[in-house]
C-alpha cells in the first residue's frame, strides 16, 4: 500500500428536500452569488426558482450565468471569470451535473489567477487558490460534487483536458435524489457508466496489499450494478436513486483510490472520442473500458480474475483464468447493453476513420504514455480503439 493523504472537506447534505437549505449554506461564504447552470431543465422543473428563493431569503444577491453545455467549454468559463470579477461575486453556486460543476470550478480558480485559466488544464500552472464553490446536484455521474477535479474542453483544437487541485473541492453539495427522478434513461445510464469507470480506474492497479480498498471498490461496483436496472425501470424509485446518487459521490471523492496507483488511461482514451464526436462521456466509457480490459488483462490476470469473480459473480474456472476474465468482461458489456449503453463505436454511430488521429492526440504523437496499470503508447491506444469497433 502506498503512503497517502486523504482530506475530503466537502460537506454532503443528502436527502429529500435538501435543496431548500442552499441559502443557509451559501450565506456562510458571502453576500453575492454566481448562479451557474446549464439549460432550461432546471427552469422548467421549478428547481431554479426554488434555489433563487432560498438564496434571496438568506439575503444573498444573485448574478446568473447559464448555458453550460455537456463537455463544458473554455469560452463560457472565460466569460464567467470576467463576469465574477466585474460583479464582485463572493461565491459560485453550480446547479446541475458534472459539466456545470466543472465549469464552476474552472471559473473559481480562474478568477484569482492573473494568466489564462487554460494554463492549469494545459499543465503550465498550478492553482494555489480558488473561490468557494457550492453545488446543488441534479445528475449523479461525474462525482465532481466532492472531487478536486474539473474537465474542460478548449474549442480551439477541441482539446478536452482535466485538472486536479485540492483547492477545487466544493465547500458543500446538496444532494436530493428526487431531483434525479426526471433524468431520461439514457442520461441515467451514462451517469452509471461514468461512476463505474471512476471506480475501475482505481481498481485496476499493480499495487499489492490493498485488500481493504479492493473490497470497497467491489462493494461499490456490485451495488451500482444491482441498483442501476431499478432506476432505469422505475425512474421514481427513491431508494434506488438514492443509492446510485451516493455511490456516485463515493466513487470519485478519492476514498477508493487511497494507497493505490490509479490508471485513468480509459478516461483519456475516451476524452478524444467525446471531444470529436460530442458523445456523452459515460457512453464513450462503456465503449472504451471493455476494449481497454481486453488489451491489458494479461498484464495482471489475477486482478482481472478477482474482478470477474467478486464483482460479477463469475463461477471461477480454476484451470483457465483467461476464461474467467473474458466471462467477466462479457458480463460488463452485457450490463452496459442492458441499461441501454453502446459497447461498440457503431452502436453510437461513430465512424472508425479517425482512430489514428485520436491515438496520436491522446499520446501527443507518442511523446508520453497513458495510464499506470500498463503504460500505453500511441500504438497501444490505436489497438484499443480498434477493439472498440
260 touches 210 (CB < 8 A): yes
The binder of a second copy chosen from 46, 59, 157, 211 (CB under 8 A): 211
List the one residue from 69, 206, 223, 323 that touches a second copy (CB under 8 A): 223
Q: How far is the CB of 3 from a second copy (least distance, A)?
A: 3
Contact flag: residue 50 with a second copy (CB under 8 A)? no
Q: Return the range that interacts with a second copy (CB under 8 A); candidates 189-197, 235-243, 260-268, 337-345.
A: 235-243
Of the residues 46, 123, 157, 208, which one makes contact with a second copy according to CB under 8 A: 208
Beta-carbon neighbour count of residue 364 at 10 Å? Answer: 9
Minimal distance, residue 4 CB to a second copy, in Å: 5
258 binds a second copy (CB under 8 A): yes
CA pair distance 326, 305, nearest whole angstrom? 9
# residues contacting a second copy (CB under 8 A): 46
Residues 84-143 close enough to bind a second copy by CB under 8 A = none
The span of 67-75, 192-200, 253-261, 300-308 binding a second copy (CB under 8 A) equals 253-261
Phi, then psi, of 73 in degrees rounded to 5 = -95, 145
Residues 118-152 as b or e (16 or more Cβ within 10 Å = b): bbbbeeebebeebbbbbbbbbbbbbbbbbbbbbbb
Among 60, 190, 220, 232, binds a second copy (CB under 8 A): 220
Cα 300 to the chain's mean position, in Å? 26
Q: Give which of 305, 303, 187, 302 is closest to 235, Cα–Cα.
A: 187
Element (H, E) at 333: helix 321-338
181 near a second copy, rule: CB under 8 A: no
33 contributes a contact to a second copy by CB under 8 A: no
Among 74, 76, 151, 242, binds a second copy (CB under 8 A): 242
Q: Name which of 249, 77, 74 is nearest 170 in CA terms.
A: 249
- By CB under 8 A, is residue 216 in contact with a second copy? yes
Grid cell at residue 278: 460530442
Q: Coil, strand, or helix at residue 261?
A: coil
Q: Give me the residue label for grid cell 458543500.
A: 172
Cα 240 to Cα 177: distance, rounded to the nearest angstrom: 9
Residue from 46, 86, 114, 209 in contact with a second copy (CB under 8 A): 209
- Considering the rule CB under 8 A, would residue 346 count as an interface residue with a second copy? no
Provide, rounded to whole angstroms, the least separation between the CB of residue 222 and a second copy. 6
From 189-197, 242-250, 288-296, 375-383, span contacting a second copy (CB under 8 A): 242-250
Under rule CB under 8 A, residue 247 binds a second copy:
yes
- Give helix 281-296 / helix 378-387 axis angle, nearest 10°: 110
Q: Which of 4, 128, 233, 338 binds a second copy (CB under 8 A)?
A: 4
Contact 332, 290 (CB under 8 A): yes
The Cβ-side half-sphere exposure at 116, using a 13 Å CA radius, reads 9
- Decide: is 238 part of the binding site for a second copy (CB under 8 A): yes
Cα 274 from chain centroid? 13
Q: Which is nearer to a second copy, 60 or 195 (CB)?
A: 195
Q: Which of 57, 185, 226, 234 binds a second copy (CB under 8 A)?
A: 226
Comparison of 258 and 360: residue with beta carbon closer to a second copy: 258
Tell me the three state secondary structure of residue 233.
helix
15 near a second copy (CB under 8 A): yes
Q: Identify the residue among 109, 131, 197, 210 touching a second copy (CB under 8 A).
A: 210
Residue 215 in the binding site for a second copy (CB under 8 A): yes
How far is it, in rounded angstroms, from Cα 197 to Cα 268?
A: 12
Taking CB under 8 A as the rule, does residue 28 contact a second copy? no
C-alpha to C-alpha distance for 77 and 83, rounded to whole angstroms: 10
Contact positions vs a second copy (CB under 8 A)? 1-18, 208-216, 218-220, 222-224, 226-227, 238-240, 242-243, 246-247, 250, 255, 258-259
Amino acid at each position: 500500500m502506498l503512503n497517502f493523504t486523504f482530506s475530503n472537506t466537502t460537506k454532503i447534505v443528502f436527502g429529500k428536500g435538501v435543496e431548500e437549505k442552499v441559502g443557509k449554506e451559501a450565506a456562510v461564504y458571502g453576500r453575492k452569488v454566481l448562479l451557474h447552470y446549464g439549460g432550461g431543465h432546471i427552469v422548467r422543473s421549478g428547481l431554479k426558482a426554488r434555489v433563487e428563493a432560498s438564496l434571496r431569503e438568506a439575503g444573498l444577491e444573485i448574478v446568473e450565468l447559464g448555458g453550460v453545455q455537456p463537455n463544458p467549454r473554455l469560452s463560457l468559463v472565460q466569460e464567467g471569470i470576467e463576469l465574477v470579477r466585474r460583479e464582485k461575486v463572493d461565491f459560485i453556486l453550480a446547479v446541475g451535473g458534472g459539466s456545470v460543476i466543472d465549469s464552476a470550478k474552472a471559473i473559481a480558480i480562474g478568477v484569482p489567477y492573473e494568466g489564462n485559466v487554460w494554463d492549469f488544464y494545459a499543465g503550465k500552472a498550478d492553482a494555489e487558490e480558488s473561490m468557494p464553490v457550492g453545488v446543488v446536484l441534479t445528475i449523479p455521474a461525474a462525482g465532481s460534487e466532492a472531487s478536486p477535479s474539473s474537465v474542460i474542453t478548449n474549442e480551439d483544437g477541441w482539446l478536452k483536458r482535466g485538472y486536479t487541485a485540492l483547492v477545487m473541492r466544493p465547500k458543500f453539495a446538496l444532494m436530493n435524489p428526487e431531483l434525479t427522478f426526471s433524468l431520461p434513461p439514457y442520461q441515467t445510464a451514462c451517469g452509471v457508466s461514468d461512476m463505474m469507470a471512476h471506480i475501475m480506474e482505481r481498481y485496476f492497479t499493480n499495487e499489492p496489499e490493498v485488500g481493504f480498498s479492493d473490497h470497497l471498490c467491489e462493494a461499490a461496483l456490485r451495488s451500482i450494478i444491482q441498483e442501476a436496472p431499478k432506476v432505469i425501470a422505475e425512474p421514481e424509485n427513491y431508494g434506488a436513486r438514492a443509492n446510485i446518487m451516493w455511490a456516485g459521490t463515493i466513487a470519485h471523492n478519492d476514498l477508493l483510490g487511497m494507497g493505490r496507483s490509479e490508471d485513468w488511461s480509459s478516461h483519456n482514451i475516451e476524452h478524444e472520442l467525446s471531444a470529436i464526436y460530442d458523445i456523452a462521456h459515460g457512453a464513450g466509457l462503456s465503449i472504451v473500458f471493455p476494449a481497454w480490459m481486453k488489451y491489458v488483462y494479461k498484464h495482471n490476470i489475477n486482478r482481472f480474475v478477482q474482478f470477474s469473480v467478486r464483482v460479477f459473480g463469475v463461477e471461477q474456472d480454476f484451470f483457465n483464468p483467461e476464461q474467467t476474465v473474458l466471462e467477466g468482461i462479457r458480463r460488463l458489456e452485457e450490463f452496459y447493453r442492458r441499461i441501454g449503453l453502446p459497447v461498440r463505436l457503431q452502436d453510437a454511430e461513430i465512424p472508425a476513420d479517425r482512430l489514428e488521429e485520436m491515438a496520436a492526440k491522446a499520446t501527443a504523437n507518442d511523446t508520453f504514455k497513458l495510464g499506470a496499470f500498463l503504460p500505453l503508447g500511441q500504438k497501444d491506444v490505436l489497438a484499443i480503439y480498434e477493439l472498440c469497433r
